[in-house]
Structure 1
Amino acid sequence: MKKKWNVKLEVLGLLLAILWLAPFYLMFVNSFKSKKEIFMDTISPPENWSFDNYITAFEELDFMQTLFNSLLITVISVVLIIIFSAMAAYALSRAKSKLSTVLFFTFVAAMLIPFQSVMIPLVTVFGKFEMLNRGGLIFMYIGFGASLSIFLYHGALNNIPRSLDEAATIDGANRFQVFWYIIFPILKPITVTVAILNIIWIWNDYLLPSLVINTPGSETIPLKMFFFFGEYTKQWHLALAGLTLAIIPVIIFYFFAQREIIKGVSDGAVK
């Protein structure tokens, strides 16, 4: 009975995997077709596998510069979100007072505010300070990403006993050393979760860069990808090739970080 149940689960898992991989298959095979071939037959592999779409997309996207912009913005934003959010959550969790409680719930409440309600005044204010550039975009990502990150870190820190802080303090460590050398390494599982959530969000974000980035050569990949979709024409063959190029860095990141990602998720589940 148990064996039959395991077989059913394996079949279900296989079907879900096929369903999940189907969009990637369609994107990949159609990236080698001409626009005419895509509309004639979307599902079948191309008759002639040509890299012309990739060469054109690579040139039109100015891919190396655009990739650098996306990597720069994503890496700096995520690193700063992790550092500032972890430190803020540590201070709020250890300082048990009415002020710390109010501040924490303020961060939680900020997650409920839709971005569309603040985007116009936000762009107006940043424009007055001449921060409608990559630096300003990173600053915005830190602000918007802090609320959820602090919430996640705060929940994890509540499960870490204060006796660790007290023992390290008795041994001569100051507040910063207690956090950086004792507490922060213990937060590794939740740090992996925070990093994944913010990397996915920032790497794929289109709306915020479209409002902030207005200098040629500073565009991110999602922003530059809009080049293939005009008012009267849509170059699906080039867009699909560009999308395939865009996900390669994410696949490489997962390939090298999969052990830490899986370990972080499993450790977080156990905790």
Structure 2
Amino acid sequence: MKSDKRRLYLLEIFGILLGLLWLSPFYLMVVNAFKSKREIFTDVLGLPEEITTDNFVQSFIDLNFVNSLFNSVLITVVSVGIIIFFSSMAGYALARNKSKLSGVLLLIFVAAMLIPFQSVMIPLISLFGSVDMLNRTGLIFMYLGFGSSLSIFLYHGAMTGISKTLDEAATIDGANKLQVFWRIIFPLLKPISVTVGILNVIWIWNDFLLPSLILDGSSATIPLRMFYFFGQYTKQWHLALAGLTIAIIPVIIFYFFAQKQIIKGVAEGAVK
């Protein structure tokens, strides 16, 4: 019994230390956001000698935060919605049609996850530039292409746990393929849909490289605007950290309202 309690205490201590390690970047970000530029370089780890909110006001203005937030939310929400819409149908079709062609198509989607973006970056931009789609619409279309592989793979795996007898029973009752999927199958895919949504929201919300190649200044997202604080000869860390603190507030609000669905979706999706 004593050895079990000792082991439990050690695990608790390890968990606390690991939690502090994970929280340390947030501590550094928030604490230094209230410091002046001089004080950041003088003492990074310490608390601010004099708390100032000027950094937040200036970074809010420099980020053009309202416009940048609108662009980030619009691109993220539309992209994730389209990815879930098409990937769920593709995963359903590949799982229900047992043929060599469906197996080859699934293998192609899985293999596409191994292709690094940098290898197709220049040809992709050249192609979309020639058809004048270097804008938010073109960016959303690209996110669909890059995000579908993993999403289809996850949906295909989840479909293997849903009996085909549901399809057959609905078909006997007079439902067509679309009705079977959207009214019977898709509601059962809610846990994996939440998982797919989380993975793609994290990726798209924080993505910098692809928007930097596609978007102009008026449609820039928050990560793209953050780069403006780092010039060739100067780095405005006090404004950048204040901007980062402001930028994570929408994500915290989203998680606060959706935490039950997120935890439930990840847990059930992992079991499936």
Which category describes the TM-score, using the shorter chain as reference length?
over 0.9
Structure 1 distance, partners of 2:270, 2:123, is: 40
Listed as ranges, the matches of 1:29-68 within 5 Å are 29-68=31-70
Structure 1 residue 253 and structure 2 residue 254: aligned?
Answer: yes
- Map of 2:163 onto structure 1: 161
CA shift, 1:264, in A, is: 1.1
Structure 2 distance, partners of 1:171, 1:153, is: 25
CA shift, 1:46, in A, is: 0.5
CA shift, 1:200, in A, is: 0.5
- Map of 1:201 onto structure 2: 203
CA shift, 1:235, in A, is: 0.2
- Map of 1:145 onto structure 2: 147
Structure 2 distance, partners of 1:232, 1:70, is: 28
Structure 1 residue 234 and structure 2 residue 207: aligned?
Answer: no
Q: Tell me the amino acid that sits aligned with residue 223 of structure 1.
A: L
Listed as ranges, the matches of 1:1-271 within 5 Å are 1=1, 2-214=4-216, 216-271=217-272
CA shift, 1:80, in A, is: 0.5
Structure 1 distance, partners of 2:115, 2:271, is: 32
CA shift, 1:159, in A, is: 1.5
Q: Scaled by the length of structure 1, what TM-score is found? A: 0.97
Structure 1 distance, partners of 2:200, 2:262, is: 14
Deviations 1:205-226 (A, max 9, x none): 0000011112x21000111111
Q: Tell me the amino acid that sits aligned with residue 246 of structure 1.
A: A
Q: Is 2:36–2:52's contact at 8 Å kept on the other side of the alignment?
A: no
CA shift, 1:193, in A, is: 1.0
Q: Tell me the amino acid that sits aligned with residue 241 of structure 1.
A: A
CA shift, 1:4, in A, is: 3.0
The number of residue pairs the alignment matches comes to: 270
Structure 2 distance, partners of 1:201, 1:191, is: 15
CA shift, 1:181, in A, is: 1.2
Q: Which runs of 4+ in 1 moved over 4 A?
A: none
Structure 2 distance, partners of 1:177, 1:64, is: 40
Which range moves more in the overlay, 194-203 or 170-179?
Answer: 170-179
Structure 2 distance, partners of 1:270, 1:130, is: 44
CA shift, 1:189, in A, is: 1.2
Q: Tell me the amino acid that sits aligned with residue 151 of structure 1.
A: F
Structure 2 distance, partners of 1:124, 1:54, is: 38
Q: Is 2:226–2:240's contact at 8 Å kept on the other side of the alignment?
A: yes
Deviations 1:32-79 (A, max 9, x none): 101110011011111111110000000001000000000000000001
RMSD: 1.0
What SS does structure 1 have at the residue aligned with 2:219?
A: coil
CA shift, 1:96, in A, is: 1.1
Q: Tell me the amino acid that sits aligned with residue 170 of structure 1.
A: I
Q: Scaled by the length of structure 2, what TM-score is found? A: 0.97
